[in-house]
Amino acid sequence: MNLGILRVVGIVLFLYLTWRNLRDNYPSKDLISYSWEALLAFFVGGRVVYGLINWGIWNTNLGDWLLVWQKPGMNYEGAYLALIGVTVFICNKKSWKIWTFLEQILTSTLVLLLGVIGDEFVRARFEISLGLVSLLLIICLVVANIAKKKYRSFTWYKSGKSGFAWFFVNFVFWFLMMIISLLFWNNETRAFVYIFLSLTSLLGLFILGDVLEPLLIFGKRKKQYE
């Protein structure tokens, strides 16, 4: 069994940072429960998506999916989206503000990703593309910290609602992932997925910030005169 130290550090920091950053606004019991459920979704989701993408190549039967140590394999995009999906589900269930909660777990989620991908970087003997993804995650951590402090000073972000950092960092991350995919992996399908996620994040940012409000008002006025 070979569980890398970076992966363990990422998991531990995710649990700690999630509790530390949210403990003042949410019950500790709920946060601990959420953290473990999010981790489970992250690793199970990543494993399932990897198995589906490599169906018939990596796995010969469903039992292979359970052989984590004998047949390693994980799709990190699927893992991330699974974590977000469970987060949205739990927020709806507990009547928590989704965008606020996602912004508050942004740092811990990036650290988790950095831990597991950094571990993969070491296992792959310092493959340059994985190193670039790890560097990108570090940059996103810096950007997230700045965005959380500065976004209310942006005049174009009219609503001032929480969630700016989460949408903005996702936009930047997926856009740069698209570039990495084209330059190093030569995978147009993955690049398309990345640009779709990037543009979706940008649209969410505009909607949350009421940036599109003038266009919506213009549309409403146009209908009134028709």
Tokens 């970076």 locate to: 6
Q: What is the predicted pLDDT for the residue at 155?
A: 83
Domain boundaries, the chain: 1-126, 145-226
3-state DSSP assignment of residue 148: helix
As a dihedral over the C-alpha atoms of residue 213, residue 218, residue 223, residue 226, rounded to 10 degrees, the angle is 180
Could you report the per-residue pLDDT of 76-116, keeping only the tens digit for each? 999 999 999 999 999 999 999 999 999 999 999 999 999 99
Q: How many CB atoms lie within 10 A of CB 82?
A: 22
Query: Mean of the per-residue pLDDT values for the chain?
Result: 86
Q: What is the predicted pLDDT for the residue at 74?
A: 83
Query: 51 pLDDT exceeds 60?
Result: yes
